A and B are shown apart, each in its own frame.
Chain A
């Protein structure tokens, strides 16, 4: 079966750091993705991890531990525009599609 868990909602203040966790139990694994989706807009790609460790891209970093079935997205120096839904997704073993979690809605306040 496929199960991807992430918190439903998180809140933070401008300038802070927030970590959004994702745990997964899937029948196969071929990479983990994070997407950002602002209300009323298309999801956009943030990061990709296929090996264990940390991938850093500007203010955003993503971490993967395959043995623990665990990833997190770290957002630094939060800005109001970071208020959005953050979607964790795992690519299936065949590599044909992404399976998504429910998403974490992050609200950033001043």
Chain B
């Protein structure tokens, strides 16, 4: 139990489908993140929400659409994806605020996405 839960763990979709990834954190954190992890590449930051407001949008194509309805939930809506979007999508959360928090990230186990 990592405190950050992602569903589904595996998803296969066609290029014309619309699907969503869900992330839920039970740690009382108020920042949430989406990262993309592809083979042989570094973890790529996609989006950051702090206090439910988007504070980072890292030049991500518009076929990825995040949603953060509250500080415990984060979604990534997917539509008209490409095969190169196949990857592991990791959600993370962190506390935001005063020291001595290091601001470390707590990751979920990821959603493995395959686009056919």
Question: Is B104 touching A48 in the complex (CB atoms < 8 A)?
Answer: yes
Interface residue tally for chain B (C-beta within 8 Å): 24
Q: Does B108 contact A (CB under 8 A)?
A: yes
Interface residue tally for chain A (C-beta within 8 Å): 23
Q: How many A-B residue pairs have CB under 8 A?
A: 53
Q: Does B66 contact A (CB under 8 A)?
A: no
Q: Does A72 contact B (CB under 8 A)?
A: no
> How far apart sit A43 and B104, CA to CA, in the bound complex (Å)?
11
Q: In the complex, identify which listed stretch (B14-22, B35-43, B68-76, B77-85) lies at the interface while the others stay far away.
A: B35-43
Out of B40, B102, B109, name the residue touching A42 (CB < 8 Å): B109
Question: Is A91 touching B41 in the complex (CB atoms < 8 A)?
Answer: no
A residues less than 8 Å from B55 (CB atoms): 94, 96
Out of B102, B104, B109, name the residue touching A41 (CB < 8 Å): B109
Q: Mark B83-116, 1 if CB is under 8 A from A, else 0.
A: 0000000100000000000111111111000000
Q: In the complex, identify which listed stretch (A11-19, A63-71, A100-108) lies at the interface while the others stay far away.
A: A100-108
